[in-house]
Amino acid sequence: MKNTTHFGFKQVATNDKQSLVRDVFNSVASKYNLMNDVLSFGAHRLWKHYTIASSNVKISDKVLDIAGGTGDLAIEFRKKVGDSGQVILSDINAAMLNEGRKNLTNKGIFGVEFVQLNAQQLPFDSNTFDCVSIAFGLRNVTDKDQALKEIYRILKPGSCLLILEFSTTDSVLLKKFYDFYSFNIMPKLGGIIADNEASYQYLAESIRKHPNQETLKNMVLDAGFDFCEYHNLSGGIVALHKGIKV
Amino acid sequence: MQSFAIFWHKQAVILERALNHLVINSRVNIDALNGKTIGLSLQDLPLDVHFICANNRIFVLSATDKSTDVDIKLKSMIFISLLQGEDLTELLRQDKINIHGDAKTAQLLVDLLKEVDIDLEEMASKHTGDIIANQLGKLTRKFNHIGTQSNNPFKIIKDGLSTLLINPIKSKRYKHKNS
Ligand SMILES: C[S@@+](CC[C@H](N)C(=O)[O-])C[C@H]1O[C@@H](n2cnc3c(N)ncnc32)[C@H](O)[C@@H]1O
């Protein structure tokens, strides 16, 4: 690994990135769900709905949601796998996991396990899961290649990885609007609603630093996956990558 | 042709859900296909799909350059006649279909596709923009039915809304005529 890496548009020591990301999510945890709805105009729910619809998860499956935060995906996976299945909601950040726990309890969802972990070192046996998901989490991970390799290891043959993440739009008009919105409006809203302009500035910057659709697809294949394809959502502002381990 | 490729890409998701719906409800048994990767391409349309069968489920992917265990190449009209019950061996004998690999596996896939509750025949037979737009409504309706696996009107509306917002081209409300 290189000695420095990006944290938004800043270059920081690789060893420092994890704690900087932790600070961001510590500071937004309590307002995270509200901000998600406001900033995406509710569209994050639809992107997640599409992710679940593409998951191929069924009754009795074992599913791991990485960087799961407040647990939106875990809730839906829990409904799909039933009592005979297993869903683990995991995140590196204890504050986010706590929000997840509260959210699930408030929604009457029980039976989901919570594990605090770093996507780069997954504490599970090889060939364990039928599906692993990571939504809006990969761009925060310091060593993405390592995380992808770990995910590949713990997936069973005949199972899939789903990466839902901000991506790159080809539409010039959409890009203009999106750039203006994310660098001028989003941080301001973060300041007003969550009293945290800097974290939402990081959010906007980290999206721009994240690999585009094709680069991420190649990273998934390089990690060992036999197949990978992606679907652009909302004109490519978000993409869902699906990696298959045969 | 480009619009058909995009159109098909989205349909692969629908087809995958439909096939797995059959597996989940024990309407088909895919044991014999376990571990197999099958490529299906229509020679007269930019349609190239891989079916990956493993872990008692099927993945449908479009456009990959990975090699497959069995490769089926045929014209769209022949594909339609297969789905309508034409004998695969007979078509093979007449050189109307090109199979690399085990023909029995190909037959199993064809049998599976025949069971699917979406109109593959129409999908393959009509490929001009207007007709595609027309087909989308029908497919989306079937997709909603399969996808929700319930008669819950709220879920159906939610699915429809998702389709409209994140994949407008697939929506019933999609009025734009592709050229
Ligand atoms: C934007 S939130 C996404 C939460 C949730 N998946 C969603 O879609 O609403 C990103 C999450 O990634 C987590 N995260 C960041 N780095 C991580 C790492 N290395 N391993 C696991 N989780 C990480 C953060 O703590 C945060 O909860």
What residue ranges do the domains of chain A occupy?
4-245
Which residues from A are below 8 Å from B165, CB to CB?
A: 43, 46, 234
pLDDT at B121: 58
pLDDT at B63: 60
Q: Which pTM was predicted?
A: 0.84
Q: Is A212 strand, coil or helix? A: coil
pLDDT at B13: 77
pLDDT at B84: 84
pLDDT at B85: 87
End-to-end CA separation in angstroms for chain B: 10
Give ipTM to 2 decimals.
0.85
**What distance in Å separates residue B9's CA from the closest CA in chain A?**
8
pLDDT at B77: 87
Angle at A160 between CA A65 and CA B83, to 5 degrees: 140
Q: Which residue has the tokens 């599913």?
A: A63
Pick the residue from chain B with its C-alpha nearest to A159: B55
What the block records as the tokens of A110 is 């029980």
pLDDT at B43: 86
- Is the separation of the CB atoms in B166 and B133 below 8 Å? no
Which residues from B are below 8 Å from A171, CB to CB?
A: none
Q: Which helix (H) or strand (E) holds A87?
A: strand A86-91
Ramachandran angles phi, psi of A167, nearest 5°: -145, -145
Per-residue pLDDT of chain A (246 residues; tens, 9 = 90+): 678 999 999 999 999 999 899 888 888 888 888 888 888 888 999 999 999 989 999 999 999 999 999 999 999 999 999 999 999 999 999 999 999 999 999 999 999 999 999 999 999 999 999 999 999 999 999 999 999 999 999 999 999 999 999 999 989 999 999 899 989 998 999 999 888 899 889 988 999 889 999 999 999 999 999 999 999 999 999 999 999 999
pLDDT at B175: 36
Ranges of chain B whose pLDDT falls below 70: 1-10, 63, 117-179
- Kind of pairing, strands A155-166 and A238-245? antiparallel
CATH class of the region B2-169: alpha beta
pLDDT at B98: 94
Question: Which one of A45, A160, A167, A226 makes the best mutation probe of the B interface by having the most chain B beta carbons within 10 Å?
Answer: A226
**What distance in Å separates residue A224's CA from the closest CA in chain B?**
13
- Is A4-245 in CATH node 3.40.50.150? yes
